[in-house]
């Protein structure tokens, strides 16, 4: 028999998203507009989520995505149709939305395995302006968004779990096994904020990541702050920043698969010189990896993140970045992202940064942002502005 979560459990999950995650952890307010993207394979969550939005006296705009239609589009669309940009429609969405809830759920983990990677990359690139407008609205404090996971049979099968086991990991990660998951999550957030603030008190110029699979230096600069987006991603236990793209040098290999565009890239390897990818490899779908890197400005590091095992409730890899970038194994969890930076990591008013400012600060924008993960043992040493060094992460925990 297929395991199906109860309506009560799904409603509790919905309340975490609507009444906690949105509006930077305050929850949605009456009269606001919430745009929801939900796939067909997550249909049982549709009504509980809509009810939670209505209870908040907000306005739901539900975009229901039938399974299989994306693949059909790529199979039959010509080049012009793939990159067509419906500006009035997309810009109108950005203007209308106060919040966005995006549901990750897949009926087929390998849906695009036979699709030309160039088509997939071109589609992503064509949506760059839409992404930039959403980011601008967020930076202006006029919109928030959150991302979460609904488990399916295909997703569970991919990582060798039963559907009940897979959804059990979601329940633990989101504290849905507590009577009041929001209250429990706030306790964890408070502890993560303590470490984040300690890191921000350090004037970090760069970090050196060393292990058997990595020897890489990443330039941070004291004008960057560390963040923990515990409200934007449900769940999230990471602490991250967007480094200076020009100061990344060295190599790193990733032992966790990267699922992207309905394909899986395994054993990803990157080598950087002065912030640019100069060599890469993968044991599967290397062509897809190559097309991803070719997307403008996706050949640079835009995020560096660490997860502390004292906080994460995720103990098994789920085959989804949202969870795997937060999973804790005894050796820890490190991930970097190639593509678009998070301007919010600037110490100052990021909404006022011009394109010239972003370039001078070592930020840049891209239509792509892909997190690549390793759970291998490593030590992270920071070089501070006075030239001294300090180990900030070892044995899967922050040491500050």
pLDDT of residue 344: 86
pLDDT tens, position by position, 53-105? 999 999 999 999 999 999 999 999 999 999 999 999 999 999 999 999 999 99
- Calpha distance 335→253 (Å, rounded): 10
Question: Given pLDDT bands bounded at 50, 70 and 90, which one contains residue 3?
Answer: low
Alpha-carbon dihedral of residues 160, 162, 163, 165, nearest 10 degrees? -100
What is the C-alpha R_g of the chain? 20
pLDDT of residue 223: 86
For range 244-264, the mean pLDDT: 89
Intra-chain end-to-end CA distance of the chain, in Å: 48
pLDDT tens, position by position, 276-335? 999 999 999 999 899 889 988 889 888 999 998 888 888 888 999 889 988 877 778 888
For range 206-235, the mean pLDDT: 89
User: What string of H, E and C letters represents the secondary structure of 200-216?
Assistant: HHCCEEEEEEEECCEEE
Q: Which of 99-103, 245-249, 356-360 has the highest mean pLDDT?
A: 99-103
Structure tokens at 300: 């640079």
pLDDT of residue 263: 82
Question: Given pLDDT bands bounded at 50, 70 and 90, which one contains residue 1?
Answer: very low
- How would you class 190 by CB atoms within 10 Å of its CB: exposed for 0-12, middle for 13-18, buried for 19 or more? exposed
Please, are residues 392 and 378 in contact by the beta-carbon 8 Å criterion? no
Angle (CA) 153 157 163, round 5°: 45
Please, are residues 326 and 237 in contact by the beta-carbon 8 Å criterion? yes
pLDDT at 4 > cutoff 80? no
DSSP output for 39-50:
EGGGGGGHHHHH
For range 185-204, the mean pLDDT: 92
Question: By percentage, how much of the chain surpasses pLDDT 70?
Answer: 99
Q: Which structural domains are found in the chain, ordered by start? A: 7-179 (3.40.1830.10), 183-398 (no CATH)
Question: Given pLDDT bands bounded at 50, 70 and 90, which one contains residue 205?
Answer: very high
pLDDT at 2 > cutoff 60? no
- Calpha distance 21→17 (Å, rounded): 5
pLDDT of residue 262: 75
CA distances from residue 232 to 23, 137, 146, 352 in whole angstroms, order as listed: 9, 15, 4, 22
- Nearest to 399, CA basis, from 218, 159, 239, 163: 239
Locus of tokens 């970097």: 336
The DSSP letter of residue 233 is B
Q: What is the rounded average pLDDT for all residues in the chain?
A: 91
For range 123-152, the mean pLDDT: 92
Using DSSP's 3-state secondary structure scheme, residue 47 falls into helix
Please, are residues 343 and 139 in contact by the beta-carbon 8 Å criterion? yes
Using DSSP's 3-state secondary structure scheme, residue 128 falls into helix
Number of Cβ within 10 Å of residue 63's Cβ equals 12
Q: Where are the beta strands (DSSP E) in 202-268?
A: 204-211, 214-219, 238-241, 248-253, 258-260, 263-265
Peptide bond into 234 cis (omega under 30): no
Locus of tokens 């044991």: 283
Structure tokens at 22: 């949105």
Number of Cβ within 10 Å of residue 89's Cβ equals 9
Of residues 185 and 100, more confidence is placed in 100
Please, are residues 152 and 31 in contact by the beta-carbon 8 Å criterion? no
- Nearest to 306, CA basis, from 211, 389, 176: 211
pLDDT of residue 367: 78
For range 338-343, the mean pLDDT: 84
**Angle of helix 181-201 relative to helix 7-16, nearest 10 degrees?**
30
Residues composing the chain? 400
Q: Are strands 301-307 and 238-241 parallel, antiparallel or unpaired?
A: antiparallel
């Amino acid at each position: 028999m297929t395991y199906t979560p109860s309506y009560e459990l799904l409603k509790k999950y919905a309340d975490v998203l609507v009444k906690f995650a949105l509006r930077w952890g305050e929850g949605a307010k009456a009269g606001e507009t919430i745009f929801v993207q939900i796939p067909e394979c997550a249909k049982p969550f549709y009504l509980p989520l809509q009810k939670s939005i209505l209870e908040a006296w907000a306005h739901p705009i539900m975009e229901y995505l039938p399974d299989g239609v994306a693949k059909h589009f790529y199979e039959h669309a010509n080049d012009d149709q793939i990159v067509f940009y419906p500006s009035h429609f997309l810009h109108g969405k950005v203007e209308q939305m106060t919040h966005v809830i995006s549901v990750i759920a897949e009926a087929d983990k390998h849906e695009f395995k036979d699709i030309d990677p160039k088509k997939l990359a071109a589609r992503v690139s064509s949506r760059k302006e839409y992404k930039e407008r959403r980011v601008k609205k967020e930076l202006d404090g006029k919109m928030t968004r959150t991302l979460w996971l609904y488990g399916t049979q295909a997703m569970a099968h991919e990582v060798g779990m039963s559907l009940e086991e897979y959804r059990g990991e979601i329940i633990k990660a989101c504290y849905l096994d507590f009577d009041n998951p929001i209250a429990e999550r706030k306790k964890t957030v408070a502890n993560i904020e303590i470490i984040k603030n300690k890191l921000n008190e350090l004037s970090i110029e760069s970090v050196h990541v060393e292990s058997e699979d990595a020897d890489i230096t990443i330039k941070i600069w004291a004008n960057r702050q560390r963040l923990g987006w515990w409200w934007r991603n449900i769940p999230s236990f990471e602490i991250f920043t967007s480094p200076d793209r020009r100061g990344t040098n060295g190599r790193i290999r990733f032992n966790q698969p990267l699922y992207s565009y309905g394909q899986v890239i395994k054993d990803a390897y990157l080598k950087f010189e002065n912030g640019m990818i100069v060599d890469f490899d993968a044991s599967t779908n290397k062509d897809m990896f190559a097309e991803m890197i070719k997307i403008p400005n996706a050949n640079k590091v835009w995020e560096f993140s660490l997860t502390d095992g004292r906080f994460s409730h995720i103990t098994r890899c789920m085959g989804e970045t949202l969870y795997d970038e937060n999973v804790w194994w005894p050796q820890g969890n490190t991930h970097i992202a190639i593509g678009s930076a998070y301007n919010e990591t600037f110490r100052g008013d990021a909404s006022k940064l011009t394109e010239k400012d972003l370039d001078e600060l070592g930020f840049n924008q891209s239509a792509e942002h892909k997190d690549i993960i390793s759970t291998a043992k490593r030590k992270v040493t920071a070089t501070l502005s006075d030239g001294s060094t300090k180990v900030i992460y070892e044995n899967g925990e922050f040491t500050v």
